């Protein structure tokens, strides 16, 4: 058993349903699409930053090889 399994336990269908119900109660049905749009934008921004960083590292490696 690793530390994450001990901390979280086993995540199954009942736990996921419970989390979804709690999120619906906290934010309501109208706010969830806005939250998902913001989350999607954040993930997209993160991926773009990772890609840029990878390109910088590749360029730096190419420059040092020459």
Residues 2-49: pLDDT tens digits? 665 666 677 788 888 898 888 888 888 788 888 889 989 999 999 999
Enclosing domain of residue 10: 3-65
| 3-state SS, residue 57 | helix
pLDDT of residue 41: 93
With a threshold of 0.75, does the pTM exceed it?
no
Residues 51-66: pLDDT tens digits? 999 998 888 777 776 6
Give the separation between CA 32 and CA 23, rounded to whole angstroms: 8
Give the separation between CA 37 and CA 43, rounded to whole angstroms: 10
pLDDT of residue 26: 86
pLDDT of residue 1: 52
- Give the number of domains in the chain: 1
Q: Assess contact for 35 and 27: CB atoms under 8 A.
A: yes
């Amino acid at each position: 058993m690793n530390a994450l399994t001990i901390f979280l336990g086993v995540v199954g269908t009942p736990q996921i349903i419970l989390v979804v119900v709690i999120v619906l109660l906290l934010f309501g049905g109208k706010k969830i699409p806005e939250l998902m749009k913001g989350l999607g934008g954040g993930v997209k921004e993160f991926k773009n930053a990772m890609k840029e960083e990878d390109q910088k590292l590749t360029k730096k490696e190419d420059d040092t090889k020459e």
